[in-house]
Amino acid sequence: MKKISRSSPSKIVFLVMDGVGGLPHPETGKTELESARRPNLDRIARESLCGLTDPISPGITPGSAPGHLALFGYDPVRYEVGRGIVEALGIDLDLKPGDVAARGNFCTVDDKGIIIDRRAGRLSTERSAELCRLLSDMTVKGTGLSVVPVKEHRFALILRGEGLSPDLTDSDPQQAGLAPRKVQALSQQAQRTADIANEFITQANTRLRNESSADMVLLRGFSRRPAIPSIPEIYRLNPAAIAAYPMYRGLARLVGMKVLPTGDSIRDQVDTLRRHYDDHDFFFVHYKQTDSRGEDGDFLAKVRSIEELDSVVADMLRLDPDVLIVAGDHSTPATLAMHSWHPVPFMLRSRWCRHDDVPEFSEQACLAGGLGRLPATEIMPLAMANALKLDKFGA
């Protein structure tokens, strides 16, 4: 792609409806999308080339990070983003290439050191922030440590220094009734980092001894920011991200997008898009509600979130981008109340797409689309082609 991509003034707007795909409601037989009033999405479908995307491969349920990496054109199996990094991205931390991040939990243990509750009763975010402050003025073997609160019992641990390695086992056994484990090095050069992590755990547990809310820390998902070629580098784009949730801003930053400040609602986001429309040639607009309401298992609320999105889509259409993409990073059927493996409705609207007969934006209709089923990683090449930003391959 690097060889044939070229810069041009044409604009690509890439709207991601997080978790948009669904499953039929047992009573009506209709999915969330099929149940929603969505005149604008349906209008786009009629002017688009449609299909169903497989985020990773059939049957595989993606986390948010691989789901988005695939949308951005990266092989999500090759570019793995570890738990710790996802956690750090999720609180807008700007990680440096050598940093090692881990996800931390505050937990409670009995007097034999056996875990009673891996989440310390989901202690309040405020209380958790106090405990993080208690642990934050620590230096271990010359390595700087940051302990940053995330939400409830969750925090991120960042190690910053020379020669660190993420090749470590978890201390979190992921199950109550067991003792926390020692962190172990999975390679020779990770030994020093393992020692640092274990020393941090010991010191932290000492400091927590007199606290009532939690007794110990558990660490998992040691990882480093993947070395990933950036979107400006690969596609010669000048990309911007408009996302209300920190994690998606973090993922966008990871692939070299400029993150635009925006408000909490999708209306704010579309305002931001309009205001900055002249400054970039690629916009990633992330809509979170479809996923959140799906994970709540609230079918009706997910339907309403689709309708809310639909009402602002008209404003996006008024900008008339050269390529408008509506996609999802995965399905989140309300009936399952979690991410799922089901392929995701997709549409691409452009003057140069050979559009199909799909009359509406739904799982069933997109299946009969001109793209059929396609890997999500094929979206970026299609977006680039339809924006006339690709040279011919070969003579």
Contact (Cβ atoms closer than 8 angstroms) between residue 380 and residue 73: yes
CB nearer a copy of itself, residue 319 or residue 374:
374
Counting every residue, how long is the chain?
A: 395
H or E, element range at 305: helix 299-318
Shortest separation between residue 391's beta carbon and a copy of itself, angstroms:
8
Strands (E), 78-165: 100-109, 115-117, 139-140, 143-151, 154-160
H/E stretch holding 222 reads strand 216-223
Kindly tell me which of 215 and 281 has the beta carbon lying closer to a copy of itself: 281
Closest approach, Cβ 272 to a copy of itself, in A, equals: 27
Q: Cα–Cα distance between 395 and 389 in angstroms, integer?
A: 18
Between 148 and 208, name the residue whose CB sits nearer to a copy of itself. 148
In DSSP terms, 217 is beta-bridged to 106
Contact between residue 357 and residue 49 where contact means Cβ atoms under 8 Å apart: no
Q: If phi over 0 gives left and psi between -120 and 50 gives alpha, with beta otherwise, what is residue 347?
A: beta
| Shortest distance, position 23 Cβ to a copy of itself, whole Å | 6
Closest distance between a copy of itself and the C-beta of residue 79, in Å? 10
Instruction: Output the furthest CA–CA distance in the chain (Å, rounded).
Output: 73
Of residues 111 and 391, the one with the C-beta less far from a copy of itself = 391
Closest CB to a copy of itself among residues 77, 114: 77
CB 37, min distance to a copy of itself, A: 21
In angstroms, what CA-CA distances link 358 with 19, 30, 55? 21, 17, 21
Distance of closest approach, residue 108 Cβ to a copy of itself, in angstroms? 24
Instruction: For 251-302, give the DSSP string.
Output: HHHHTTPEEPP--SSHHHHHHHHHHTTTT-SEEEEEE-HHHHHHHTT-HHHH
CA distance 340 to 367: 17
Nearer to a copy of itself, 127 or 355 (CB): 355
CB nearer a copy of itself, residue 128 or residue 340: 340
Binding residues vs a copy of itself (CB under 8 A): 4, 23-24, 31, 56-67, 76, 80-83, 86-87, 221, 336, 338-342, 352, 354, 356-357, 363-364, 367, 370-374, 378, 380-386, 390-395
CB of 256 to a copy of itself, least distance (A): 20
Contact 131, 214 (CB under 8 A): yes
The amino acid that residue 391 corresponds to is: D
Q: Between 356 and 360, name the residue whose CB sits nearer to a copy of itself.
A: 356
Smallest separation (angstroms) from a copy of itself to the CB of 134: 27
